[in-house]
């Protein structure tokens, strides 16, 4: 089993190296103003299965120009295995169970089996009930689309998405630093403090007492 898994991974890796792979994102083209220009992204709904939903952010996918397949890498234990775009059970999805042949015209409009009957619909009874609040992408080429479903086409935009740019915040104004006080290299000479008057009087009195004692001895 491990040998089979490794072999499968190597086959997928070799296919990716040999094929011409370009990044692509998918968008909605619709007469409905609320949907037109919205993006498509896929969400996990089962083992190896992601359902497509209408969203504000487009998922980064890959387009194999040689095999004409739109896919995302599965990751996990088989990082190079592909989940490819396919309509299955009336739902547009990424799956490991097959791949639709997808072409794009000069305007980027995608064509594949079921692409001429795509709708955005809610409440499609998907496994995790994401469609209760989000538009899932379904296809009904033979009719019978759910009530309230909105028809649209898929447009592909190729190349790496441009990073979102935000206006740079203005740089804060710089304030002038207060001037540095001037310093002198000369050491200040301390000013002598005069002795208190009381101490001077004591010294004068002592001298007079000594003089008086000397006079008595004469």
pLDDT confidence tier of residue 163, bands split at 50, 70 and 90: low
In DSSP terms, which residues pair with 49 in a beta bridge? 46, 95
207 is a domain residue? no
Per-residue pLDDT averaged across 21-42, rounded? Answer: 98
pLDDT confidence tier of residue 80, bands split at 50, 70 and 90: confident
pLDDT confidence tier of residue 131, bands split at 50, 70 and 90: very high
172 is a domain residue? no
Q: Give every CB contact of residue 140 below 8 A, 6+ residues apart in sequence.
A: 90, 117, 119, 149
pLDDT confidence tier of residue 216, bands split at 50, 70 and 90: very low
pLDDT at 5 over 50: no
167 is a domain residue? no
24 is a domain residue? yes
pLDDT at 13 over 80: no
204 is a domain residue? no
Gap between the Cα atoms of 127 and 46, Å rounded? 8
Domain count of the fold of the chain? 1
Helix (H) or strand (E) holding 23: strand 21-29
Please report the beta strands in 35-117, taking only residues with DSSP state E, as ranges in sequence order.
39-46, 49-55, 61-64, 69-75, 78-88, 91-95, 103-104, 110-111
Average pLDDT, the chain: 79
0.75 surpassed by pTM: no
Gap between the Cα atoms of 202 and 209, Å rounded? 11
In DSSP terms, which residues pair with 22 in a beta bridge? 63
Domain containing residue 116: CATH number: 2.80.10
What does the DSSP 8-state code read for residue 189? P
Domain range for 119:
2-158
Q: What are the backbone dihedrals phi and psi of residue 174, each rounded to the nearest 5 degrees, phi first?
A: -95, 135
Position 211 scores a pLDDT of 40
Gap between the Cα atoms of 24 and 21, Å rounded? 9
Tokens representing 213? 């004692």
pLDDT at 86 over 70: yes
């Amino acid at each position: 089993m491990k040998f089979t898994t490794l072999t499968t991974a190597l086959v997928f890796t070799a296919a990716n190296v040999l094929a011409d792979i370009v990044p692509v994102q998918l968008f909605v083209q619709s007469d409905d103003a609320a949907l037109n220009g919205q993006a498509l992204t896929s969400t996990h709904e089962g083992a190896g299965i992601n359902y497509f939903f209408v969203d504000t952010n487009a998922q980064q996918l890959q387009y194999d120009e040689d095999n004409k397949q739109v896919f995302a890498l599965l990751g996990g234990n088989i990082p190079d295995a592909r989940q490819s775009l396919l309509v299955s059970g009336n739902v547009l999805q990424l799956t490991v169970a097959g791949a639709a042949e997808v072409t794009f015209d000069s305007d980027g409009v995608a064509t594949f089996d079921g692409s001429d009957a795509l709708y955005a619909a809610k409440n499609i009874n998907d496994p995790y009930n994401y469609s209760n609040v989000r538009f899932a992408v379904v296809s009904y080429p033979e009719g019978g689309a759910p009530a309230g479903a909105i028809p649209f086409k898929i447009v592909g935009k190729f190349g790496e998405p441009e990073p979102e740019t935000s206006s740079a915040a203005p740089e804060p104004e710089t304030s002038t630093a207060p001037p540095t006080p001037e310093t002198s290299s000369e050491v200040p000479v301390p000013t002598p403090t005069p002795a208190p008057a009381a101490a001077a009087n004591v010294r004068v009195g002592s001298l007079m007492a000594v003089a008086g004692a000397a006079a008595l001895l004469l």
